[in-house]
A = this chain, B = another copy of it.
Amino acid sequence: MSLQQALFSPRSVAVVGQSDDAGKTAGRPLKFLRQLGYAGRVYPINPRRETVLGERAWPSLAALPEPPDHVYVVTPTTAAVEAVEECGRLGVKVVTVLADGFAEAGAAGLARETRLRDVCMRTGLRIVGPSSLGIVDLRSKAMLTANAAFDETDLPVGRIFAASHSGSLIGALLTRGKARGIGFAGLVSVGNEVDLSLGEICEATLDDPGIDGYMLFLETMRHAASLHRFALAAAERGKPVLAYKLGRSAAARELAVSHTGALAGEDDVADVFLAECGIARVDTLDGLIEGLPLLARVPLATGGARRRSVGVLTTTAGGATMVVDPLASRGVTIEPASAATLARLAGGGIEVKPARMVDLTVAGARYDTMKTTLDILLTAPEFDLVLAVVGSSARAQPEATVRPVIESAGAGKPLATFVVPDAPEALAALSRAGVPNFRTPEACADAIAAALSRRAPRPMVARSAPPPVMAAGRILDEFAAGALLDRLGIARAPSVALDAGIAAAPALPFAYPVAVKVLSADIAHKTDVGGVVLGVADGDGLLAAIRKIRTGVAERQPGARVGRVLVQPMVAGIGEALVGYRVDRDVGQLVMVAIGGVMTEIARDRSLRLAPVDGATAREMLGELRGLPLLAGYRGRPAGDLAALAQAIVALSRLADDPTVAEAEINPLIVRPAGEGVVAVDALVKLAGKP
């Protein structure tokens, strides 16, 4: 029996801790299994009762006539651990665990997790959860869930698989989908992912011919590698993946930490990771629920930044602008109809003003007008996607304005529809016809932007396994860091080390003015301890600078060794950049670039990618920086050498092949005028610690 079968179409299931009270959480699984008519064998287990909900209750897993394919454990924590151990002994294939009290519950909880993992290792048992509200297949009716929202008899079966870190959300997706005529093949609440991760569970469904696409509700980026593997395989099969991820705000990330026990990374890291996986990310709940039909119709872009231009057809300018506003804020271009398209429209008897939108308010909400206009726009080369916005007529006269949308939807470019009034019948008709439609302007814009941003996933590059970032690593001194830059081919300022005790200034191999910096493995942030003096003009200044550094460090970091100082020529340039590399605990190797100074520190302006990157990607990263003009000819200054800056990003990103380095930051990297390259002036390198 495959993992997929045990998870989704088990021949037999047991519910450990099944209650006799169907109103209680622990009473629900048996009720739901019977209510929907699961056809396999069901073993309710309750050692304190003869029967539960009118059926024979078994005293224990060991007393069953067979080891069930899939066991759902709904007992409290301690008993749950024991039940899992028993599953292992009996050769059960999969167990799903409801109880909490694991990773989020301190040391005792972590110890319980270790016990669960140990069972998996020893016996081959696979675990969903703990803290899983269950796993459900609406085709096999294997309703192993305690989520109250499944207490219905008419759950629509569809072709979407939903996976969620939040247990409550599988109920929200199910019921909100149902209200929109959207059905699911299956849903899973993955809980703490102590064994099977969200990505692995989704991966197990990839060859299910009844599943066309995926909805993910993510709270953390834990187990990112398995998510990446799943996403690549889904893309190969043409199955789109749409994700909502909590954590845009720091407060939300903190909540995710406290209730799942996972550590939350920064949000732009999640953004970049999902993008590189070819997973579209939405910011609205409705965008997640309503977005898949559109995602399935927008072809995946490959290579280079994709065009993102939307043509808008509307019967109400104000209604359409509600969608345009958030779309434009997300960087999507609202493209006016070209002269050729306007000419085709005029040829079809449609007179519209040349403007950003094709506004039919004046032409009127008539079937022929809508149909002709749609057919022309959907085949116009200037658009990547067409948005049709229908006003009050969508409710009052759907024949005039919604029927043409349905009839034209397959005609060319992807089509998204927003209906301005409350118009449930129009929406249902659009959904039945498979035409992407949205209930709110915000979800519509969200899904369009997500679909147009999605690119083909980057193949998993052969990278060394990420080093164990948790262990404390050693910081390289400036000389060793310099040697690493040399090896990567990143130019750096020449430097000499001087004994901090010198009484006379020696001859230097470069001209004054120079910079003097403390050289000590004890000191990570030299500036903070007064360890840097810039613009030293001559030998006397050099000696004075050394004295100043020794005094400053002695005051601000007493005990730090100041045996030597580093002397470099002052390097002038157009501006400064910061290029960094690090191994993220969730998503692995990352490379980062930022413009130096306030744009980085205050405006939080940076661009990230999974490392390593090629030159095209590095240039794309630079293009994402709002502060790029500072290096590209700002206020009449000459332009900086952006080609060399991109090359430095590429070079530093190659650390992804070096498992000994955990983190490296070049700050500042002086950007000189075009053609004159970039020069690293300082670098901080942290080695991976011992596992």
Contacts and interface: CB of A to CB of B under 8 A. Distances in A.
Contacts of A630: 598, 602
Interface in A370-417: 391-393, 395-397
A215 interface: no
A284 B168 contact: no
Interface size class of A (residues with CB under 8 A): 35 or more
Given A171-B392, A395-B148, A630-B602, A285 B251 contact: no
Given A175-B422, A324-B255, A423-B175, A392 B147 contact: yes
Nearest to A312: B255
Interface string A231-256: 00000000000000011111110111
Contacts of A251: 324-325, 327-328, 334, 356
A178 interface: yes
A249 B598 contact: no
B151 A396 contact: yes
Nearest to A530: B636
Contacts of A178: 422
B171 A420 contact: yes
B440 A325 contact: no
A362 B100 contact: yes
A674 interface: no
Contact of A246 (B147, B321, B420): B321
B219 A321 contact: yes
B249 A317 contact: no
Contact of A602 (B169, B175, B627): B627
Copies per complex? 2
Most chain-B CB neighbours within 10 Å: which of A168, A422, A441? Answer: A168
16 contacts: A147-B392, A151-B396, A164-B318, A168-B315, A169-B420, A171-B395, A171-B421, A176-B421, A247-B325, A249-B324, A249-B329, A258-B355, A259-B317, A598-B603, A599-B603, A603-B605
10 A-B pairs with least C-beta separation: A166-B318, A168-B316, A249-B328, A171-B392, A251-B328, A148-B396, A149-B392, A252-B325, A168-B391, A175-B422
Interface of A: 23, 25, 100, 147-149, 151, 164-169, 171-172, 174-176, 178-179, 217, 219, 246-252, 254-256, 258-259, 283-286, 315-322, 324-329, 334, 353, 355-357, 359, 361-362, 364-365, 391-393, 395-397, 420-424, 440-443, 527, 597-599, 602-603, 605, 626-627, 629-630, 635
